[in-house]
């Protein structure tokens, strides 16, 4: 039996919520339900609102009347909480990784290990997939995507190659895409390079940086005093945003001072440095290797 997804830093992240038995909590990345299941085990009453825009996450729903499942992007957390009559919550957890299920399904297009559709949509109802970006984005836009979202060193080369090569025929599969970009792939770091390229495309397809930014900015008003924000990120772009936000309350990381020179920040840091998985967890689940956990408490 295939496991849909193995939750990363499970105990560290859930304990980081500082659960109150009757509190209201949000898991904005339900996925396989691992974190949500653990939260529900520890709650004595209370309520858990779980978000996931992927329709396939429904197959993992937990039969518990304390759980409200929202099949939408967590970017809209404020609107949906208001819809359910919830103004404030006691904790919000976000695991920003792609589920193992999505990586292992060839037709989802997230992995270069398989030949399938060049898709990468977390929300299958969305209209823009990776194939559309590869076939329609101009050279400048492609370059920015690979440079900023994948930190690909030869981003200009790669963008130029794609634009010149795609004129022969539309690129619709992973196999076609890998063949097209082969001249730009450094042989010594092939897997790392392809991982960077695919990460960049995935971030663009799902608008991940804008979604994360909107979500983080929403949490300041949604958390009760003493409420916890718990975020697991997997690459430097995400982690930089999270780190800046919990330290300063804004995405730039600039701490504001009042008239007397005191810093005005909305959070106290529970983790001064990011928590990373122990070697034992990485051995059990290699996909946890790049995970970083940050926890902050609303003042």
* Residues 77 and 142 both lie in one domain: no
CATH number of the CATH domain containing 294:
3.40.50.150
Which domain-ending residue is among 171, 206, 241? 206
Assess contact for 47 and 25: CB atoms under 8 A.
yes
Residue 199: inside a domain: yes
* Residues 117 and 182 both lie in one domain: yes
Residue 1: inside a domain: no
**281-290 pLDDT per residue, tens:** 999 999 899 9
Strand ordering across the sheet containing 223-233: 67-70, 47-51, 24-27, 89-95, 223-233, 292-298, 267-269
Mean pLDDT computed over 31-38? 95
Assess contact for 119 and 135: CB atoms under 8 A.
no
**49-65 pLDDT per residue, tens:** 999 998 888 999 999 99
Residue 219: inside a domain: yes
Q: Which two tokens stand for residue 203?
A: 């971030």
* Residues 30 and 156 both lie in one domain: no
* Residues 14 and 162 both lie in one domain: no
Give the β-pairing of 223-233 and 292-298: antiparallel
* Residues 202 and 216 both lie in one domain: no
Query: What is d(CA 255, CA 263) in angstroms, rounded to the nearest whole number?
Result: 6
**228-261 pLDDT per residue, tens:** 999 999 999 999 999 999 999 999 999 888 777 7
Residue 5: inside a domain: no
How many Å from the N-terminal Cα to the C-terminal Cα in the chain? Answer: 44
* Residues 236 and 277 both lie in one domain: yes
Assess contact for 293 and 231: CB atoms under 8 A.
yes
Q: CB count, 10 Å around CB of 103?
A: 17
Give the predicted TM-score (pTM) of the model. 0.92
Assess contact for 205 and 120: CB atoms under 8 A.
yes
**pLDDT for the residue 2:** 44
Range of the domain at 237: 10-100+208-298
**pLDDT for the residue 105:** 64
Which domain-ending residue is among 157, 187, 206? 206
Residue 150: inside a domain: yes
**pLDDT for the residue 107:** 62
* Residues 72 and 191 both lie in one domain: no
* Residues 116 and 195 both lie in one domain: yes
* Residues 117 and 66 both lie in one domain: no
* Residues 112 and 202 both lie in one domain: yes
Q: With pLDDT > 70 as the criterion, what percentage of the chain qualifies? A: 95
Query: Among candidates 112, 130, 148, 137, which has minimal Cα distance to 201?
Result: 130
**132-178 pLDDT per residue, tens:** 999 999 999 999 999 999 999 999 999 999 999 999 889 999 999 99
206 contact partners, CB below 8 Å, separation of at least 6: 120, 121, 122, 123, 126
**pLDDT for the residue 113:** 77
* Residues 192 and 116 both lie in one domain: yes
Query: What is d(CA 170, CA 68) in angstroms, rounded to the nearest whole number?
Result: 42
Number of domains in the chain: 2
CATH number of the CATH domain containing 135:
1.10.150.170
Q: Which two tokens stand for residue 206?
A: 């799902």
Which domain-ending residue is among 161, 188, 206? 206
């Amino acid at each position: 039996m295939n496991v849909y997804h193995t939750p990363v830093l499970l105990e560290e992240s859930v304990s980081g919520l500082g659960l109150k038995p009757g509190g209201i909590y949000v898991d904005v990345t339900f996925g396989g339900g691992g974190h949500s299941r653990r939260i529900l085990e520890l709650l004595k009453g209370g309520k858990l609102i779980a978000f996931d825009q992927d329709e396939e996450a429904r197959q993992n729903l937990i039969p518990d009347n304390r759980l409200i499942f929202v099949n939408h992007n967590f970017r809209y957390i404020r609107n949906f909480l208001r819809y359910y009559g919830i103004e404030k919550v006691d904790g919000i957890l976000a695991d920003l990784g792609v589920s193992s299920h999505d990586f292992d399904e060839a037709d989802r297009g997230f992995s270069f290990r398989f030949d399938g559709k060049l898709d990468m949509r977390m929300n299958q109802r969305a209209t823009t997939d990776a194939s559309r970006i590869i076939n329609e984005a101009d050279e400048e836009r492609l370059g920015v995507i690979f440079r900023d979202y994948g930190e690909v060193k030869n981003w200009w080369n790669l963008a130029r190659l794609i634009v010149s090569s795609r004129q022969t025929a539309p690129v619709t599969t992973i196999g076609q895409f890998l063949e097209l970009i082969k001249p730009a792939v450094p042989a010594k770091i092939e897997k790392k390079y392809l991982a960077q390229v695919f990460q960049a495309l995935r971030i663009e397809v799902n608008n991940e940086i804008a979604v994360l930014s909107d979500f983080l900015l929403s949490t300041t008003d949604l958390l009760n005093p003493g409420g916890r924000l718990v975020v697991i990120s997997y690459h430097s772009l995400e982690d930089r945003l999270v780190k800046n936000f919990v330290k300063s309350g804004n995405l730039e990381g600039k701490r504001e001072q009042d008239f007397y020179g005191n810093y005005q920040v909305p959070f106290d840091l529970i983790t001064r440095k990011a928590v990373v998985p122990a070697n034992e967890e990485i051995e059990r689940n290699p996909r946890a290797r790049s995970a970083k956990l940050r926890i902050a408490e609303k003042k």
